[in-house]
A and B are shown apart, each in its own frame.
Chain A
């Protein structure tokens, strides 16, 4: 079974802090994604990576950056956390593109 693991289930950070969300997958997938989930808005794509050191912006990249130094690891970085970034963050990976497998999510609260 594909396993996508996010480093934290719950995080509380202060406004202005730099925040790192880590994601690791164990199936040698080329593609990895970061989504943000808010009530009524579904899942919105923040960033996508299709190879090591390669990335593309999704629908809402502002305030975020990503890092993919190794194939199995994809990090989401909040350069200066703000309260409007309080949300559920979901990492996913895929081999053939469309059938993405998700991690359990990180619920981030910025105070």
Chain B
């Protein structure tokens, strides 16, 4: 399957700090999705991006679809303890069909 590379693998930050993470692919994607997984739960969709250059916000979260279509970024502003979890990027498998391929995840830890 396709490889989505997420970085960093983990982050330990102070409450109130801003957070940036990214996802890259060796091939072009037509859609980028960002999910968050709370401890012990299934992933929940945060933001969906459908056009190169698109910038979309959801509260304190902002995600961008890279111009090259090979990357995407997620930023969290003014982090709070409930931001703790694993953040996954995802895209359609081979840019066709209905399957999603996921990155390895970024584990975020927030110190109050």
Interface residues of A (CB under 8 A from B): 4, 30-31, 33, 35, 40-45, 48, 50, 56, 58-59, 90, 92, 94, 97-105
Contacts and interface: CB of A to CB of B under 8 A. Distances in A.
Contacts of B6: 42
Contact of A105 (B42, B88, B105): B42
B32 to A, nearest CB: 10
Interface of B: 1, 4, 6, 9, 31, 33, 35, 40-45, 48, 88, 90, 92-93, 97-105
Contacts, number: 67
Contact of A43 (B31, B44, B88): B88
12 contacts: A33-B99, A35-B102, A40-B104, A42-B104, A42-B105, A43-B102, A45-B93, A45-B101, A94-B98, A99-B45, A102-B35, A103-B42
